[in-house]
Amino acid sequence: MSHKEAYLSKPWLKHYSAGVPSEVEVLEMSVPELFDRMAEKYANRPALIFYGKKISYRELKELVDRLATALADLGVKKGDTVAIYLLNSPQYVISYFATLRLGAKVTPISPVYTSIEVRHQLTDSEATTVICQDILHDNLEKAGVPLARVILTGIDEYLPPLKRLLGKSAKAKAYGGKKPPTAESLGREGVYSFPGLLKKYPPTPPAVAIDPRTDLAVLPYTGGTTGLPKAAMLTHRNLIALQGQARAFWPVLEEGKEVVMAFLPFFHIYGQVVVMIAGLAQGATLVLFTTPDIDEILSAMEKYQASGFYGVPTLFEYLKEYEKTDRVNWKRLKLIVCGADTLHESTMEGWEKRTGSQIFEGYGMTETTSASHGNPLGRCKKGFFGIPLPNVKAAVIEPEGAEFMPVGEVGEMILAGPNIMQGYWKRPESTSEVMLEIDGEKWLRTGDLVSMDEEGYFHFFDRKRDLIKYKGYSVFARHVEEVLYKHPKIKAAGVVGVPDPAVGNLIKAYVVLEGEARGKISEEEIIDFCRENLAHYKVPRIVEFRGELPKTDVGKVSRRELREECEAT
C-alpha cells in the first residue's frame, strides 16, 4: 500500500462507535430552513434560557422573523454583509438567524477588539449594517467606518425583571467602564433601537431563495499567513454539513432532549457553530451566559440538568482544581468536549480523577467550519485529538511539498470534505496558498504539523506558521509584531508563545530598542502600548529587551530560535 492509499483507505473507520456511518447525507437546505424545521417541531420547548428568562422555539422564530422583516425594510438585501458586534445574548441568536433568512451574510466581531481591529473587519468584510451592543457603541464610533445603519441593543432587554438593574452596570464594568450611547447619538439618522424594530415590524419577512452550495452564510475572521486577520468564506452547505457530521459522530445526543451550556463566545467559530447552531439544529435548550462566570455556570448546570458541555483546555485545567467543581454530577452528562487548543494529558487525567467523567478532545479550524476530528465515544485516546468525522478525508503531506508522508511520520495535515471553506474572502493569493487539488478534489492545507498512527488517530505537534494559542484564542505573532513596530522607540521585535499549562501559551515579546531609548523605557510601558492597540488576549505578558535578535538566512527575525531559547530555560 502506498503512503497515499494508507490515508485514503481511512483506517480510522474501524474505530467509529457502533452505528456511526462512514458517510452522511448532507441536507440540501439553508440554515434558516433547518431552524424553521426545529421551531415547528419543538415550538413549546425552551430554545434559550438567559439568566432565568426562557424563550421558546415558537417565540424565537417570531423574533427572528420580526427582525428579518425590519432589516429588509431598512434596505438589507441578499448578499449584503451584516456585522454582529454583541455579547452572547438572545439578541445575538435573533440577529444571526434573521440575517441569514434574508440571504445576507454575517461577520461576527469580537467584543474585545480595539477600534483599529473593528475598522479592519468592517472595511474588509464590506459590512453596511452593524448590530451593536450599546456599551460597545463608543468603540464602533472610534472605528470611523461609514455605515448605512447601526442597530443598538442593551444586554438588559432580555434579563428577568430582578436582574435588569444589574445588567448594564455589570457588563459595562466588565468591558472597561464603557457607557451606553447618549440620547443624542440614538437620535441620529441611521441609528435604530433593536427592541423598537421588533415592536414595529410584523413577523412577515420576504421570501428569499438561497442556494446552500454557493450562497455565503458567514465570514468569520481568522489569523493566517499575513499579519491582519482574513475571513473564511463559509456557505450554508458548509454549516449544514458540519451539523450532520458531528451529530452522526456523537450519536449519544438526542434531538429535542438536550440542555447545553452556551458560554463559549458566539463570535468565535467554536461557540458559534458547535454550540449555538448545533444546539438549535437539534432542538436543544441553550443556557446562555454573556460572560463565563464559573459559579453561575456550575449552578445552572444542576438547575437545568445540563447534558452537554463544551470548553477549552484552560477551563478544564481550572475546573479540575476548583473547589466548587463537585457541585455538578459530571458523570451524568452525555458529552463533554474540549476544543480550540491542545488538551494536556495531565489535565485530562486530573479531570477524570476529580470528576469520574471523560473529556472528548476534538480538532477544528475556522476554515473547517469549526471541526474535522474528534475522539469517538468509548475509545478516547489520550494525547490524540481524534479521528476524522464522517465525510472527512485527512492525510499528512510534506510541509513544504505535496508528497504523502509515511504513517507515523510528522508532516502538514490536509483535509477534504463538505465542511471545508470555499476560500478566503477577497484573498485569491492566500486561498491558492492553502488549497490544493488531488485527483480532482479540493484539499485544505491546515498549516498544522501532525502525525497519524496505524489506527488512524491524529497527534498534534506544532503550528507551521507561528500561531499562538492563549486561553483558546488564536494569536498571530506577526500581528503583534506589527503593533510593536509602530512604537517610535522600537527597532526590532520578535513574538513567540511560551508554553504554560494554565493558559496554553503566554505571549512573549523580544524587543530591541533604539539606542537613545535603552534603559529609559520599561517592560510595562511596552505592554501598556500594546493594550492600547490590541485586543486583551493578544497583549504580550512577558517583554524581554535584547541588544539584537537572531535572524534567518534572509534577514527575518527567527522565531524558531527564540522559541527554542524559551523551551531551554
Average pLDDT score over residue span 351-358:
96
CATH 3.40.50.980: which residues of the chain?
A: 57-209
State which of 225-234, 342-351, 419-428, 471-480 shows the largest mean pLDDT: 419-428
Q: Would you put residue 322 in left (φ > 0), alpha (ψ -120 to 50) or beta?
A: beta
Task: Give per-residue pLDDT as tens, 419-456.
Answer: 999 999 999 999 999 999 999 999 999 999 899 999 99
How high is the pLDDT of residue 191? 96
Average pLDDT score over residue span 469-496:
87
How high is the pLDDT of residue 292? 87
- Grid coordinates given for 397: 503531506
User: The pTM is what?
Assistant: 0.85
Average pLDDT score over residue span 170-185:
59
224, pLDDT greater than 50: no
Q: What does the alpha-carbon distance between residue 70 and residue 83 come to, in Å, rounded to a whole number?
A: 16
β-strand partners of 338: 311, 361
Among all chains, which residue has been given the C-alpha cell 442556494? 211
Q: What does the alpha-carbon distance between residue 7 and residue 13 come to, in Å, rounded to a whole number?
A: 11
Contact 443, 476 (CB under 8 A): no
State which of 4-8, 164-168, 496-500, 563-567 shows the largest mean pLDDT: 4-8
How high is the pLDDT of residue 170? 47
Nearest residue to 146 (alpha-carbon basis) of 163, 129, 131, 161 = 129
Output 349-355 pairs: Cβ under 8 A, ≥24 positions apart: 349/382, 350/320, 350/321, 351/316, 351/319, 351/320, 354/320, 354/325, 354/326, 355/320, 355/325, 355/326, 355/328, 355/330, 355/331
Give me the percent of the chain exceeding a pLDDT of 70: 93
How high is the pLDDT of residue 165? 57
205: helix, strand or coil: coil
The torsion angles phi and psi of 6, rounded to 5 degrees, stand at -60, -35
173, pLDDT greater than 70: no
How high is the pLDDT of residue 189? 87
CATH number for the domain whose boundaries are 57-209: 3.40.50.980
Q: Is residue 226 very low, low, confident or very high in pLDDT (cuts 50, 70, 90)?
A: very low
**52-56, 282-286, 318-322: lowest mean pLDDT where?**
318-322
Task: Give per-residue pLDDT as tens, 16-61.
Answer: 999 999 999 999 999 999 999 999 999 999 999 999 999 999 999 9
Tell how strand 105-108 and strand 81-85 pair up: parallel
Contacts of 480 (CB under 8 A, 6+ apart): 495, 507, 509, 530, 534, 538, 540
Beta strands in 385-472 (DSSP E): 387-388, 393-397, 411-416, 435-438, 441-452, 458-463, 467-470
DSSP state letter for 249? H
Contacts of 408 (CB under 8 A, 6+ apart): 451, 452, 453, 454
How high is the pLDDT of residue 469? 85
Q: Is residue 164 very low, low, confident or very high in pLDDT (cuts 50, 70, 90)?
A: low
How high is the pLDDT of residue 350? 92
Average pLDDT score over residue span 203-229:
87
62, pLDDT greater than 70: yes
Looking at domain 467-568, what is its CATH homologous superfamily? Answer: ANL, C-terminal domain (3.30.300.30)
CA 75 to chain CA centroid, Å, is 29
How high is the pLDDT of residue 163? 66
Contacts of 207 (CB under 8 A, 6+ apart): none
Average pLDDT score over residue span 470-484:
84
234, pLDDT greater than 60: yes
Nearest residue to 105 (alpha-carbon basis) of 265, 235, 237, 221 = 235
- State the chain's mean pLDDT as an integer: 92
390, pLDDT greater than 50: yes
Distances in Å between the alpha carbon of 483 and those of 115, 327, 549?
14, 44, 17
Q: Is residue 495 very low, low, confident or very high in pLDDT (cuts 50, 70, 90)?
A: very high
Q: What does the alpha-carbon distance between residue 459 and residue 495 come to, in Å, rounded to a whole number?
A: 25
How high is the pLDDT of residue 169? 47
Nearest residue to 419 (alpha-carbon basis) of 26, 37, 35, 79 = 26
Q: Is residue 553 very low, low, confident or very high in pLDDT (cuts 50, 70, 90)?
A: very low
Nearest residue to 276 (alpha-carbon basis) of 538, 34, 13 = 34
How high is the pLDDT of residue 167? 54
How high is the pLDDT of residue 399? 87
CB atoms within 10 A of CB 563: 19
CA atoms within 13 A on the CB side of 491: 13
Q: Is residue 185 very low, low, confident or very high in pLDDT (cuts 50, 70, 90)?
A: low
344, pLDDT greater than 80: no
Contact 485, 518 (CB under 8 A): no
Q: What does the alpha-carbon distance between residue 395 and residue 479 come to, in Å, rounded to a whole number?
A: 29
CATH 3.30.300.30: which residues of the chain?
A: 467-568
Q: Is residue 1 very low, low, confident or very high in pLDDT (cuts 50, 70, 90)?
A: confident
DSSP state letter for 232? B
Q: Is residue 486 very low, low, confident or very high in pLDDT (cuts 50, 70, 90)?
A: confident
Q: What does the alpha-carbon distance between residue 344 and residue 331 come to, in Å, rounded to a whole number?
A: 21
Contact 384, 458 (CB under 8 A): yes
